Structure 1
């Protein structure tokens, strides 16, 4: 057979792969419409003409149900997924010589045969993801993590974390292998950050307002490959400022990152695009975007003719800042006392968290500063970083029981009101899965402390919210029932439900978490050391 012209060959290939890869399924257009077939056809043809290998992939939605159906059964860990939004993940076609770990097949939701969400990278590889961004909202961002690596933790590191009295996460989620509990597998779960997120603030500063606009992302360990793909995109009419590169660094401050390659011992990667809190009136459009993400995924490999691979250097994270909340500490103490008095007198519940507050009455702050919970550290000691990122300040509570009538009050500053967050989410997490199951956003939390304005200064800068199985016990409290989230057994199974997915020892237990996303005027989350530590107060009913 004679040589088929590259553009014609790609058109034929696209038609053959359409049913399995989503290739060319979107409308053409490089302007405000979807970046689809017109861009893709020319891009693939030009890349192939330059000697690139190209494999079309597709994007899929990763949901809470995928956590229960796929991730937990395979990894015994849902990685503290954020329930504020599902994730869009690129699914790539495996290379012929790529090792596919059986334990990772379908780990992030069922994929088509021959495709994977946990991929390896040759030094010349890149993942190219592009298309129309979602409708206006308060957050979107793309991030890649190291998914797993060859190694085994030291007993001393394990014991250090096991003996940490206020450790927020059960040990089984911090140190585990692939497959889980395969002590001799020689491979550990990592889910550790490789750099800062390319979020909507980053996009806006480089290319202007980016929601509902076409944007292009290159994920690669090679500056050589990146330059070649960028040139090819620009030759298709894509403005250079609309292209963003997520650099896979060669090392971090604690050592090298790797090895790369297709072999069994190489590290693998996982990428996710997260879109959260659509603007008012955009909910239907947001749901439509998520259900059928108008994104194209290509996996490419540069030819040797491009010359030596230029690896990116050392990983660095952008410095975080925050408005100090220290001047509000007295007001927070007064609010905690007022909540304790009101719950005791109105709901007739009991607590010891006010008169003699134990350490467990506070959410765990400063995971990065106090615990070193960040990608490089986790990789060095072979700990699972649970998808760490720099776009939010995190606070966690350890697993707490629900099924004996307990009521929990979370009291803190509302970072959107102190100028420290673009949005705030107070989450319910199922401890038996380490999975997010519900969120309370700042729009609900705002004003929840106003009922205490007569005795507490600056009440508008705080929130009070309750979690329990039955909110009726709080009838008569300020803001009831809006200020209470009922954690149903459909949301989080009872400890008596022996058939529920998850760790039986943690059934009926929830973990509260507070996330403050993106300090206004910066590209990252606030510095948590400048924020007040949230209090979580446990109330019980007499006789229970």
Structure 2
């Protein structure tokens, strides 16, 4: 596209430098925490002196409310967001000549005019994001996804998954941009392009990184990466504090692309996630999230930087885990004890409490059971719903709540079996495919101890209940701590015709279990070594 015109360049520089010198006021809630950035001016000047085009950006917090107010109306899909933490999203100014898809405007929350949360990349482009990392916690990461692509799925692929699984409703797996577009030839993808850069990898390269300054480059070109790194190091940034997300040239199913600014090019979406601040850090964490102290810009290297050197084929790091097979008998005993106690204490019917357990009680692992990772999803034009390699992920199909149903999730607790840094059992609104609440491992820990007289290794297992009103389970061990009441404010009733979302799925929830980052590694546990969580359904007895 060549260089930005001088008049445009001047306005971009003014916006990047921010400052108080008449460049405009920072909008509330859009990441005004960068005014103290000591390197920005020198970095921008260095890049422009080297012939780079530079375009401004900012960071904003993407919340559950943004999902309801913006993402679902735009995409008819909240993309299975993890409610354990909101996301920090880089927002960038569109390049002159960049296709600005009207269907994606404000899809991830309101942005300033001319700015976007989804962006395209020329082969010489990079997204640069840096700043002070959040206060100490259990997890942080940055990851870039392919958000959408040209093409359409084959009827055979759609029918294959329609016949194979009822875990994820089909409209979330196969849809267009705009949604349900009869003539649209662009599909939702939200598929991974590699492993995340997370706090474990940061620590291995540059030491403990929470509450420290760190620098991230997202680019398809090693040439651009080297040039941006040189510019950062010229401002005194240590090389070990810079991390690159490499956009690969291809994956196991073919080329990733096309790149470029045109309508048919793929677009990208980058998120920074921060979860579970350490005890005593909650207030500082809230302050960090409310005003993320991150500088964002996109840059384009000049031809004088050298020929574009694309990265190779996508690879994922190998995942490991400590086998949980030895706990299978203890878990079976816990399930039997839960079934007996719920029937005798709450006087509920327990049709799932058979031997062997029905296959329908097994929560599915989309990667292990279906092979849903970025390369496969891109191949068949399916929405991968933000797949990533930092967690083992299990999910149950939509289940109704409004007729007095009670659900018990029983499994190993991966933080106690050595397979997770943190675990989160989430409540998801099926009508939005949106995470609305989480039960963390700190609550799940000890939840099976009330059955220790008949269940071995109870400290490595958990049981948790979901229902509209937990009063029905009064008298069960550790009640009500082991139960989550899902109010109609949290997840609307099936009778609520005014609620946002798919009316056919109102009043239905989906349980999901995420086990994040095997200790001693940078990735989630190998789920083939874990036991499948089970979700048991209990119903009211006929009167």
TM superposition score category, shorter chain reference: over 0.9
Alignment of 1:92-241 (within 5 A): 92-164=92-164, 166-241=165-240
For each residue in 1:111-157, what CA deviation from the matched residue of structure 2 results, as whole angstroms up to 9, or x when unmatched?
00000001000111000000000000000000000000000001110
- Aligned to 1:19, which of 22, 25, 34? 25
Q: Which residue of 2 aligns with 1:33?
A: none
Q: Which residue of 2 aligns with 1:344?
A: 343
1:310 deviates by 0.6
CA distance change for structure 1 residues 16 and 446 in 2, over 3 Å: closer, same or farther?
Answer: same
CA distance change for structure 1 residues 133 and 402 in 2, over 3 Å: closer, same or farther?
Answer: same
Alignment of 1:80-479 (within 5 A): 80-164=80-164, 166-356=165-355, 357-365=357-365, 367-479=366-478
1:17 deviates by 3.9
1:27 deviates by 5.4
Return the alpha-carbon distance in structure 2 between the equivalents of residues 119 and 10 of structure 1. Answer: 19
8 Å CA contact retained: 1:52, 1:302: yes
1:360 deviates by 1.6
CA distance change for structure 1 residues 56 and 329 in 2, over 3 Å: closer, same or farther?
Answer: same
For each residue in 1:179-206, what CA deviation from the matched residue of structure 2 results, as whole angstroms up to 9, or x when unmatched?
0001321000000000100000010000
Secondary structure of 2:25's counterpart equals: helix
1:363 deviates by 0.7
Q: Which residue of 1 aligns with 2:59?
A: 59
Secondary structure of 1:163's counterpart equals: helix
Secondary structure of 1:57's counterpart equals: strand
1:20 deviates by 5.1
1:372 deviates by 1.1
For each residue in 1:229-264, what CA deviation from the matched residue of structure 2 results, as whole angstroms up to 9, or x when unmatched?
000000000000000000001100110000000000
1:541 deviates by 1.2
Return the alpha-carbon distance in structure 2 between the equivalents of residues 200 and 23 of structure 1. Answer: 22
Return the alpha-carbon distance in structure 2 between the equivalents of residues 517 and 527 of structure 1. Answer: 11
1:433 deviates by 0.1
CA distance change for structure 1 residues 438 and 410 in 2, over 3 Å: closer, same or farther?
Answer: same
8 Å CA contact retained: 1:7, 1:45: no
CA distance change for structure 1 residues 183 and 347 in 2, over 3 Å: closer, same or farther?
Answer: same
8 Å CA contact retained: 2:31, 2:59: no
8 Å CA contact retained: 2:401, 2:468: yes
CA distance change for structure 1 residues 216 and 423 in 2, over 3 Å: closer, same or farther?
Answer: same
1:370 deviates by 2.4
Return the alpha-carbon distance in structure 2 between the equivalents of residues 180 and 8 of structure 1. Answer: 35
For each residue in 1:356-383, what CA deviation from the matched residue of structure 2 results, as whole angstroms up to 9, or x when unmatched?
5322211113x21321110000000000
CA distance change for structure 1 residues 288 and 221 in 2, over 3 Å: closer, same or farther?
Answer: same
1:480 deviates by 0.1
Return the alpha-carbon distance in structure 1 between the equivalents of residues 297 and 158 of structure 2. Answer: 39
Return the alpha-carbon distance in structure 1 between the equivalents of residues 508 and 369 of structure 2. Answer: 25
1:99 deviates by 0.1
Return the alpha-carbon distance in structure 1 between the equivalents of residues 224 and 175 of structure 2. Answer: 34
For each residue in 1:25-45, what CA deviation from the matched residue of structure 2 results, as whole angstroms up to 9, or x when unmatched?
6354xxxxxxx1x20000000
Secondary structure of 2:44's counterpart equals: helix
Secondary structure of 1:428's counterpart equals: strand
Q: Which segments of 5 or more consecutive residues in structure 2 lack a partner in the other structure? A: 1-5
For each residue in 1:82-102, what CA deviation from the matched residue of structure 2 results, as whole angstroms up to 9, or x when unmatched?
000000000000001000111
CA distance change for structure 1 residues 167 and 529 in 2, over 3 Å: closer, same or farther?
Answer: farther
TM-score, structure 1 normalization: 0.95
1:307 deviates by 1.8
Q: Which residue of 1 aligns with 2:43?
A: 43
8 Å CA contact retained: 1:78, 1:434: yes
8 Å CA contact retained: 2:16, 2:57: no
Secondary structure of 1:495's counterpart equals: coil
Return the alpha-carbon distance in structure 1 between the equivalents of residues 121 and 43 of structure 2. Answer: 21
1:167 deviates by 3.4
CA distance change for structure 1 residues 530 and 47 in 2, over 3 Å: closer, same or farther?
Answer: same
Secondary structure of 2:275's counterpart equals: strand
1:9 deviates by 9.9
Return the alpha-carbon distance in structure 2 between the equivalents of residues 444 and 372 of structure 1. Answer: 31
Secondary structure of 1:377's counterpart equals: helix
8 Å CA contact retained: 2:259, 2:265: yes
Return the alpha-carbon distance in structure 2 between the equivalents of residues 475 and 235 of structure 1. Answer: 64
CA distance change for structure 1 residues 110 and 358 in 2, over 3 Å: closer, same or farther?
Answer: same
Return the alpha-carbon distance in structure 2 between the equivalents of residues 133 and 190 of structure 1. Answer: 29
**Which has the higher mean CA deviation after the structures are superposed, 299-308 or 411-420?**
299-308
Return the alpha-carbon distance in structure 2 between the equivalents of residues 209 and 287 of structure 1. Answer: 21
Return the alpha-carbon distance in structure 1 between the equivalents of residues 163 and 504 of structure 2. Answer: 19
Secondary structure of 1:107's counterpart equals: coil
Secondary structure of 2:39's counterpart equals: helix
Return the alpha-carbon distance in structure 1 between the equivalents of residues 267 and 445 of structure 2. Answer: 41
Return the alpha-carbon distance in structure 1 between the equivalents of residues 540 and 93 of structure 2. Answer: 55
